Structure 1
Amino acid sequence: MEVDRIIGKYSSDKKGPLLFITAGIHGNEPSGVKALQKVFKELNKTKPIINGTVLGVAGNKKALKEGVRYIDEDLNRTWTKENISSRVEKSHEHKEMYEIMKVLEDESREAFTERYFLDCHTTSSASLPFISVQEVNDNDVWAHLFPTYIVRGFSDIITGDIDHYLSRIGITGFVFEAGQHTSDEAQENHEGMIWLALEKACDLNLEEISCYPECVTKFSEENAPDQKTFEILYRHELDEKVSFAMESGFENFSKITKGQLLAKENGHKVISKWDAHIFMPLYQTQGNDGFFVIKEVSGS
């Protein structure tokens, strides 16, 4: 799909926060982009009053056009302190990253009362919708205002992702994984989450939009699970040269038991050491995270 860097921008010219929404950081995850296009179309049609500004930004434009996860390297691993400070375009994804940064820097010159971010993603395997949150700033408290599963600690393990960068520069927010890449529910869940974020960040009265309540309740009441909080126990990282295959049938949050066969790596069995839940099992050709293991904990 072809898309402009700025998918949309909407304001009622009232003082308030910036809600910075990114989608398509991975080019094989277009549902967040489609959801943003639909949301901005509705905002421009009904013109509801909001405080502050909502800005929707496309991630890896070239990868989105080609329908692949990335071109040279994963854009969601490039946001390191070294890359940010060097401003040297070592890959196509560096170019995309610096363009996104420029949009945010230009927008941030305005005096906002607060800055929030929402990074929209989908998963390779079937999944309930969930939030991935880094425990810095007010991120965890903010995440617990939304009605779905919450996973803490992903960005504490994986540096170089965009939410790690945005949190590091003082913006409050989280990643939202809306479901499997091609599922019908993924776009519905992205739309619902964006509308709820507008309500909570920018004081949008949802009753002012013509698609309400369906565009919100499909996510919040039909697709989203009751809120639970999880923390990451383990990451199974893959070497570039490794041969890796998950066992079939795993979905995000599937229960696993100690001694269970999870995958095969270079012909060897990968056996669970935990009674817990599997998270982000890899069922695609690109990516260096085989799977994660998470456990349920008490909430915020």
Structure 2
Amino acid sequence: MEKEVSRIIGEYNSGTPGPLLFVTAGVHGNEPSGVIALQKVFRELQQNKPKIKGTVVGVSGNREALKKNVRFIDEDLNRIWTQEKLDKEIPESSEQIEMGRIIGALNRYPKRHYYKQYFLDCHTTSSESLPYISVQEVNDNDQWASRFPTYIVRGFSDLITGDIDHYLSRHGLTGFVFEGGQHESETAVENHEGIIWLALKKALDLDLHSISCYPECVKNFTKKNAPQPKTFEIVYRHSLQDEDDFKMEPGFKNFSKIEEKQLLALHNGKEIRSDRDGYIFLPLYQSKGNDGFFIIEEAKAH
């Protein structure tokens, strides 16, 4: 990743009207892979100048936290997109300043200039993980997410308030969060780059054959790293307070199968065991965070 990350990582169009694709990365400062992937994508776009319909813009999230490789400075940037904090005239934290500047970046691309607006928010996980999409079931988000070849998890934004994808969805953009893998893994960069190229194809009609890195930059994600498509729903969240002593049992990965009564964690010295069969989701293996873990189950057909 380049040392100084600009707010606008890149912007590209080839002069043909069409949708907007708004890609955010680094909303958590210890998750740089989406930023690295965007830098690679925009270098390729500027060098080869392929035709697209519309505009793609890449935006960095928590610039101050990215400089220090920490999740956040004062508060979690992906938990503050609430009406109460959006209404504050004077920001009260580093992250509220960042939030205002991300909104300012989006406002540079007003809805009236595009017949459709898409978003893609790039993240990674503290534990090893298969790549997956987290989607909020509003607008046509779920239908859009189903066009991408990986796991889909529904319901995260229904349990967590103040995340950026909730804000973007409320403002009429269609999209999802993409979790590329573990924070520092090269695989996560491959996955982020791959899904950005696929989003350019599906949203802005990019011919992937017109870019010099194809097919490897897409196949690394779709063929090598991504699991066969499957949809899950969140059925349990184990939440934490800042002062809690929490320790996840070792060895869990995202989507690890778990059984009823299996020991999952110690919370303030108390054993936490699963009340059902299912899969572990987002086990906390880092110092900061208010979500110990989630339990997910395969979704039933609508």
TM range (shorter): over 0.9
1:241 aligns with 2:264: no
Distance in 1, matches of 2:107 and 2:89, equals 14
Which letter does structure 2 place at the counterpart of 1:48? P
Q: Which runs of 5+ in 1 are unaligned?
A: none
Asked whether the 8 Å contact 1:252–1:280 carries over to 2, the reply is: yes
Matching residue of 1:255: 257
CA RMSD of aligned residues (A): 0.9
1:78 aligns with 2:80: yes
Identical positions, percent: 63
Matching residue of 1:215: 217
Asked whether the 8 Å contact 2:111–2:117 carries over to 1, the reply is: no
Report the Cα offset of residue 86 of structure 1.
2.6
Matching residue of 2:8: 6
Report the Cα offset of residue 279 of structure 1.
0.1
> What's the TM-score once normalised by structure 2's chain length?
0.98
Matching residue of 1:227: 229
- Superposed, which structure 2 residues align to 1:168-187 within 5 Å? 168-187=170-189
Matching residue of 2:287: 285
Report the Cα offset of residue 263 of structure 1.
0.2
Report the Cα offset of residue 298 of structure 1.
3.9
Matching residue of 2:139: 137
1:195 aligns with 2:203: no
Matching residue of 2:46: 44
> What's the TM-score once normalised by structure 1's chain length?
0.98
Q: CA 1:230–1:109 in structure 2 vs 1: closer, same or farther (change >3 Å)?
A: closer
Report the Cα offset of residue 109 of structure 1.
5.6
Report the Cα offset of residue 81 of structure 1.
1.4
- Number of matched residues? 300
1:20 aligns with 2:22: yes
Distance in 2, matches of 1:156 and 1:177, equals 17
Match of 1:113 among 109, 112, 115: 115
Match of 1:31 among 27, 33, 48: 33
Report the Cα offset of residue 254 of structure 1.
0.3
After superposition, what is the alpha-carbon deviation per residue over 1:179-223, rounded to whole angstroms, capped at 9, x for unaligned? 000112000000000000000000000000000000000100110
Distance in 1, matches of 2:112 and 2:88, equals 25
Asked whether the 8 Å contact 1:87–1:98 carries over to 2, the reply is: no
Match of 1:128 among 123, 127, 130: 130
Asked whether the 8 Å contact 1:258–1:274 carries over to 2, the reply is: yes
Q: CA 1:87–1:227 in structure 2 vs 1: closer, same or farther (change >3 Å)?
A: farther
Q: Secondary structure at the match of 1:16?
A: strand
Q: Secondary structure at the match of 1:65?
A: helix
Distance in 2, matches of 1:298 and 1:173, equals 22
Match of 2:158 among 156, 159, 170: 156
Distance in 2, matches of 1:113 and 1:83, equals 29
Which letter does structure 1 place at the counterpart of 2:239? E
Q: Which runs of 4+ in 1 moved over 2 A?
A: 85-88
Q: Secondary structure at the match of 1:197?
A: helix
1:266 aligns with 2:268: yes
Which letter does structure 2 place at the counterpart of 1:251? K
Distance in 2, matches of 1:215 and 1:128, equals 17
Which letter does structure 2 place at the counterpart of 1:271? R
Matching residue of 2:278: 276
Asked whether the 8 Å contact 2:139–2:174 carries over to 1, the reply is: yes
Q: Secondary structure at the match of 1:52?
A: strand
Q: CA 1:107–1:153 in structure 2 vs 1: closer, same or farther (change >3 Å)?
A: same
Distance in 2, matches of 1:299 and 1:208, equals 37
Distance in 2, matches of 1:293 and 1:177, equals 17
After superposition, what is the alpha-carbon deviation per residue over 1:28-62, rounded to whole angstroms, capped at 9, x for unaligned? 00000000000000000110000000000000000
